[in-house]
Amino acid sequence: MSGLPPYYFRVKENGALVFRVDAENRQRRLELDQIATLNINNGAVKPQGDTILTPADKAAIDAWMAERSATLAARDVDDILRTVDHLNLTAHWAQARATDDQLDAVTDRLLMAMHDLRTVLAKKRADRLQGD
């Protein structure tokens, strides 16, 4: 089984489990040996059991964590841009198709969420402008 990566990262909510891929054993079976647990939020790397991470292990983990952080940051921005689209669709729905009962069911919650968002965005922009 050539062409397999030397490591496999099983993503979990706050990081990943890191496995060393072994396809060169006597049974010619693919084996995954867990070598570490990662926390992407705080950068913690905990070796599994008595495992001592090699420089190659550490380099692969560091590269994966950097790539994963970039992926998650890009997803955050994409999610926000989708939210802008949803707000536009919601405005069109409210103007063109919503019934009075539907508007009564959502108006207060939407107004509170939009007020909260506007307050946060205005404060953040003011903070950035003061920092310049």
Q: Which amino acid is at 70?
A: A
Phi/psi of residue 48, nearest 5 degrees: -80, 125
d(CA 3, CA 24): 12
pLDDT of the residue at 1: 44
H helices present in 27-99, as ranges: 55-96
For the chain, 132 residues long, the average pLDDT of each consecutive 10-residue run is: 84 96 79 96 96 97 97 97 97 98 97 97 96 78
**CB half-sphere exposure, 76, CA atoms < 13 A:** 6
Return the residue matching tokens 């920092």: 131
The continuous run of DSSP H or E covering 21 comes out as strand 15-22
Under DSSP, the state recorded for 11 is E
pLDDT of the residue at 101: 98
d(CA 17, CA 48): 9
Coil/strand/helix, residue 12: strand
Q: Which amino acid is at 86?
A: H
Are the C-beta atoms of 82 and 104 separated by less than 8 Å? Answer: no
